[in-house]
Structure 1
Amino acid sequence: MANEDGRTVLLLSDNVWNAHREHIMRVAPGIDPLVYEGDEPFPDEVLDTVDIAFFSSDCWPERTRGIILSIMNAKNLKWLQTFSAGVDSPFFVQLMERGVTLTNSSGATASPIAQTAILYMLALSRDMRTWMRNQDERKWQQHKIDELDGASLAVIGMGPIGMEIARIGVAMNMKVEAVRRAAKGDEPCPTFPMSDLHAVLGRADWVASALPLTPDTRQVFDAAAFAAMRTGARFINVGRGELVDEDALVAALRSGHLAGAGLDVFATEPLPEDSPL
């Protein structure tokens, strides 16, 4: 994977290069960096030399357009490393169809994303919005809170993120069940197949989704799934936005059937200003 002069051209962001330059050159001294500094794509004649590209999180979302166009226009690109775990977007699919080797960061962000799911659960159980509003209005006012200790949690999807959510839930003394395609025996809680999804949803006070997006999981959380959940349950999604029928979720929230939702991802991002979510 090198040019005629024996060196490999790596396309990467200025932030990554500035932070990790010494380490990159130490482990890969044959690298020639092509540093992405602005927000517009490189000229085609420059991109023709690129062998490897790193799509890093600092380019998301403000500089996404420029870096993606640069990567797509790199006709001789052989390998793309992306910061994301999911690689289902048309951008990645087109590159793989061209024969580009694609590697993701699955597992690398399991801990912080799982912590985000737990953050949503803590915030909703303590009604943090009321606390913050009372603080802004300088009110001293008690309000109802719910305990996570002893509450039931269904973790849907047991990749690295789901496993970490389940592990933390068990440590918090929650009654945790999980759903995945097939139990592997390494789960920290009772685990059921996807065919039992609605039954598991019906037993949970909290539902945390960490599924990947596939043809089988697209909008798996539809009106029927939300109807299967307990009245007053809360829904957390740190998987993919397209897992959820957002109209059905809004309807379940507005009707009062669901007591709340914590969403880290959406079908359309950035979330439109007129979205009810």
Structure 2
Amino acid sequence: MPGPIYLSRLLTDRAMAHLEAAGRSAGRTVRVGREAPPSREELAAGLAGADAAVLTLTERVDADLLAAAGPQLRVVANVAVGFDNIDLAAARAAGVVVTNTPGVLDRASADHTFALILAVTRRIAEGDRLIRGREPWVWGPRMLVGLDVSAGATLGILGYGRIGSAVARRALAFDMRVLATSRRATPGTTADGVTFVDTETLLAESDVVSVHTPLTPQTRHLIDAAALAAMKPGAYLINTARGGVVDEEALVAALRDGHLRGAALDVFEGEPAVNPALLDAPGLVLTPHTASAGEATRDAMGILAVDNVAAVLAGNPPLTPVG
């Protein structure tokens, strides 16, 4: 009898219906977790005996969990673009295919990134807090003045992949000058209105730096105290990639000493825990990892993960394999 498909956390209604239909068509039961992240014990119990698993970025999968799951586990579908929560070497050793959900969340993530750029440069959150504070106020020429992004400001994109290029298109529509780093482009070249440069040039010339690199051992704390010091005085930092790419303590110091004018983060090093120093830092806008939280996008992410599972269990190649 075919083994079950394990789903660690509830997906959107459309994605849940798609999973149930896929399970029925394959004659498989679906083992469904809760809406909240599972504990390690719950994750181990859910994986045990399953032929396939649909997981989210909150689930950490290592060699011990893969061994406890059993040799019948064939595929782990991550409902995310990033896959730093899964030990890929251990998965390869266990013969487990790992997939992710690239492409379907590019637009939503780019929209959120640009929303954060506007929120921090135009001091939207500060204005909201001022009104909600119920203190008397009166308009003035110096009140909450911020950066005019459409007046020739430069956006630097660290990591010109799918999401980074989508952010670039939005920035160009705002008449921004756009610089980017890319492993596939030679510094000094230009394409589609974007000038490719090295990291040092990007940090030195950008009014806004937006991070779009995956989290790897090489990119952990890529934005450290030295990188922040290399940024233009009064610049802004945006991170919608992975929290570990930015050294949060160094960022707080750069905000407090005034070297950076502001920053916006959608991801955090100790997520879901947030460094308390961030909460008191000036000029900082924070959102709870919601860059992909568009209705259609979250539907598409879950459906793609399910389709990856269905393909592998049917003996076909995965649609979006990792590695």
- Could you tell me the TM-score, scaled by structure 2's length? 0.71
Q: 1:192 aligns with which of 164, 171, 196?
A: 196
For residues 43 and 266 of structure 1, the distance between their equivalents in structure 2, rounded to whole angstroms, comes to 23
Structure 1 stretch 27-36 or stretch 256-265: which is displaced more?
27-36
For residues 70 and 258 of structure 1, the distance between their equivalents in structure 2, rounded to whole angstroms, comes to 42
Aligned letter for 1:162? G
Offset at residue 15 of structure 1 (A): 3.4
Preserved CA contact (<8 Å) 1:10 1:31: no
Deviations 1:56-75 (A, max 9, x none): 47xx5xxx589xx9877321
Offset at residue 54 of structure 1 (A): 0.7
- Seen in structure 2, the aligned counterparts of structure 1 residues 267 and 82 have a Cα distance that, compared at 3 Å, is same
**Matched length:** 264
- Seen in structure 2, the aligned counterparts of structure 1 residues 31 and 122 have a Cα distance that, compared at 3 Å, is farther
RCO comparison, higher one (Cα < 8 Å, 6+):
2
- Seen in structure 2, the aligned counterparts of structure 1 residues 232 and 87 have a Cα distance that, compared at 3 Å, is same
Preserved CA contact (<8 Å) 2:158 2:213: yes
Deviations 1:97-152 (A, max 9, x none): 32210001122221122122111111112212331122113334331132110211
Identical residues among aligned pairs (%): 32
- Seen in structure 2, the aligned counterparts of structure 1 residues 161 and 186 have a Cα distance that, compared at 3 Å, is farther
Q: 2:6 aligns with which of 8, 11, 17?
A: 11
- Could you tell me the TM-score, scaled by structure 1's length? 0.81
For residues 119 and 86 of structure 1, the distance between their equivalents in structure 2, rounded to whole angstroms, comes to 21
Q: Secondary structure at the match of 1:267?
A: coil
- Seen in structure 2, the aligned counterparts of structure 1 residues 247 and 125 have a Cα distance that, compared at 3 Å, is same
Structure 1 stretch 16-25 or stretch 205-214: which is displaced more?
16-25
Preserved CA contact (<8 Å) 1:170 1:188: no
Structure 1: which 5+ residue stretches go unaligned? Answer: none
Aligned letter for 1:147? D
Q: 1:237 aligns with which of 236, 239, 254?
A: 239
Q: Give yes or no for the alignment of 1:102 onto 2:98.
A: yes
Offset at residue 174 of structure 1 (A): 0.8
For residues 132 and 116 of structure 1, the distance between their equivalents in structure 2, rounded to whole angstroms, comes to 18
For residues 18 and 104 of structure 1, the distance between their equivalents in structure 2, rounded to whole angstroms, comes to 20
Could you say which residue in structure 1 is the equivalent of 2:262? Answer: 260
Could you say which residue in structure 2 is the equivalent of 1:224? Answer: 226
Preserved CA contact (<8 Å) 1:166 1:176: yes
Aligned letter for 1:108? V
Structure 1 stretch 90-99 or stretch 166-175: which is displaced more?
90-99
Q: 1:78 aligns with which of 71, 74, 77?
A: 74
Kindly report the root-mean-square deviation, in angstroms, between the aligned alpha carbons of the 2 structures: 3.2
Could you say which residue in structure 2 is the equivalent of 1:147? Answer: 148
Structure 2: which 5+ residue stretches go unaligned? Answer: 280-323
Could you say which residue in structure 1 is the equivalent of 2:49? Answer: 49
Q: Secondary structure at the match of 2:10?
A: helix
Q: Give yes or no for the alignment of 1:89 onto 2:75.
A: no
Preserved CA contact (<8 Å) 2:60 2:86: no
